[in-house]
Amino acid sequence: MKKVLAITVVVLVVFVSCKKTAPAPEIVPSAPKAAEIVEPSGDQCFAFANDSSNVELSFNVNSHQEVNGKLSYKLYGKDKNEGTLIGNMKGDTLIGDYTFMSEGVSSIREVAFLQRENTLIEGYGDVAEANGKVIFKDKKKLKFDPKMMLTKVECKVKVE
């Protein structure tokens, strides 16, 4: 009887010791990823054309999201104008000052373009004149009309 009792105790001890679970592995949070450095995106060119009008925009964006380029409008029933664009990318929206010549007069007008994949959609809204240029009254109320969507095209010349 002592043998049976001893064997039973040994089996129970082995059985109980096998049921002990190993401690759960400690979960260590991974280190945060380093901030991504946005590299200049190089020259980007966009255009819109139909039978009677065309718009061409070429620009580059530096690492500080500053934009500079050239913009030209040849719209049906309106005078052609072309000039420079200087501004900033704010998220997916390009906001800038368009300095252009039309009928021999130099003007500055604020412009906005919403970037969607390989397209740009120009923004429109109420404007006012301030400090010798036309600006949007409220950029939060801009409307982006896809009727005249500029699509990405191969650049013809390097943007300066």
Q: Model confidence over 21-73: pLDDT tens digits?
A: 555 444 333 444 444 444 456 789 999 999 899 999 999 999 899 999 999 99
Backbone angles phi, psi at 11, to 5 degrees: -65, -45
The tokens of 61 are what?
């964006």
Global pTM?
0.71
pLDDT in tens, 86-144: 999 999 999 999 999 887 889 999 999 999 989 999 999 999 999 889 999 999 999 99
Separation of alpha carbons 39 and 41, rounded Å = 6
